[in-house]
Chain A
């Protein structure tokens, strides 16, 4: 089995996870609007779904190798940073599941938000530290390796962006209680997602063309 096939399988699982998450979230929202489900039940179910999404993403993160980019040097610590991020997300996801299954809803929302934000800050800081190798010149790779890494980045970076954006949105929304505020923040986050996603795709395409 080639590296490419194993890599694609991990990405496919993450994409399916996201689609499942989006479908479940939309179904729950519709059920609440139509009055089939109580608001508290929907909030708890959303927390559990987000927990599953975090566990799935964290599990496959080290396999997808997002830091395996040309210039990220050295390769060993980069893989260790990816593994640690994966473990962090899996543990945070399990904490989400336990909190939303057992704890009072208010506390579950508050604690899970803080955990989610803390994990994102930690992962962003450690990855920025690792990625500095790419900015400073770092490892010299062959043109073929650079092209393969650019293709991989085109798949995994948008996925990870979507995941972290969804987690940031959930963390922000869970800290709010006023329904009007929640709707307003959700709308701005939704708009911001597409703007940032478009900018990200432009940057990735430029990088790919420059390789």
Chain B
């Protein structure tokens, strides 16, 4: 559970989860919503995938992400939203960028 808290503690990752609530999206589509480098976004995706909050599937050359949260994890995300974890830029250091993600959308 602590890994889930860690994953939800970052505003970018929470924003990714909120975007995926609407519909599954490709890595490129998701990255377009943020002003950060694509390798950094890849690292965020990797963290979310690692704790099982999102699932990825390869569609041709692009990677499509979809939400895979339990009700408890969903409640934690809502709790984070409701109690002041605003979706602002974090002061924490960004995760180490990855270069292996495919961003074709």
Contacts and interface: CB of A to CB of B under 8 A. Distances in A.
Contacts of B67: 62, 79, 83
Contacts of B56: 3
A61 B71 contact: yes
A63 B23 contact: no
A162 B67 CA distance: 25
A62 B69 contact: yes
Interface stretch (B47-55, B84-92, B94-102): B47-55
Given A1-B49, A75-B24, A6 B55 contact: yes
Contact of B66 (A10, A59, A75, A86): A75
B70 interface: yes
A65 interface: yes
Contacts of A116: none
A86 B70 contact: yes
Given A1-B50, A9-B52, A76-B24, A63 B69 contact: yes
A154 B22 CA distance: 27
A74 B23 contact: yes
A90 interface: yes
Contact of A6 (B21, B23, B57, B68): B68
Most buried by A among B24, B57, B69: B57
Interface residues of B, number: 19
Interface string B41-78: 00000000111100111000000001111111010000
The B interface is mostly helix, strand or loop, or mixed, namely: mixed
Contacts of B70: 10, 59-60, 62-63, 86
B66 A62 contact: no
A13 B67 CA distance: 19
Contacts of A59: 70-72
A58 interface: yes
A18 interface: no
A145 B64 CA distance: 13
A193 interface: no
**Which 10 residue pairs across A and B have the least CB separation, nearest first?**
A76-B23, A6-B52, A3-B55, A86-B71, A59-B71, A90-B71, A63-B70, A59-B70, A1-B50, A75-B24
19 contacts: A3-B55, A3-B56, A3-B57, A6-B55, A59-B71, A59-B72, A62-B68, A62-B70, A63-B69, A63-B70, A76-B22, A76-B24, A79-B67, A80-B21, A83-B69, A83-B71, A86-B71, A87-B74, A145-B57
